[in-house]
Amino acid sequence: MVTLQSANIILSGHFNPYLISPEWLRRQSIWTPSDVHVVAAGLRQDSIRFKGDGVEWMLSFDRLAIASTSEDCQSLAITILELLPHTPIFSTGANFVFQDESIGIIHPVFSRFHGLIPANLAVPELFKWSFLFHEDDARVEVIFVGGEQGGTFSVNRHRKTESAREASNALSHFPADLTRSRQLVQELVEGIGT
């Protein structure tokens, strides 16, 4: 069975990571979590990452990412763009990760690939493939990774934009992007015979 592991929205443009903070989000009534945790490890200079109540934020001067499987990333991002309408946004991304634990390394679909691997090499611990296509106004990339933990499908939908208004328009597709991505993954899972 396919389950949603993560969902996020990424806006590429010009941001001020010192402006968009937990306190600013609270003052603007955009996001008011009961508790906020600032994550300091693994960040590049001039980046900030914080999370609370099922939402994770990552900001830098060129990117804003909002991740959650329980909250509406779309409304959070659109509200920020409405408050900062002159922010240049060059692209939006709607990214989803789905997992199916039944597609492990011993799944029959991988036996076809085993036949292609020279006999003197060890049995692969992981299989990975990807493909790219365009659907409506989005570039869609699907990445599949299969291993001992099952199969993971990442579906990334990217749209070019030139303004905050165009980005808001692109973000309006988020619910349909999630539905279409889930359907696509389900069709892929059925196609490989689970």
Q: What is the pLDDT of residue 188?
A: 87
Q: What is the pLDDT of residue 106?
A: 67
| C-alpha gyration radius of the chain | 19
User: Token digits for 21?
Assistant: 């903070």
Q: Measure Cα distances from 127 to 59, 82, 120, 147, 190 in Å.
A: 32, 42, 18, 6, 18
pLDDT tens for residues 45-75? Answer: 678 899 999 999 999 999 999 999 887 899 9
User: Token digits for 164?
Assistant: 């905050």
pTM for the predicted model, two decimal places: 0.88
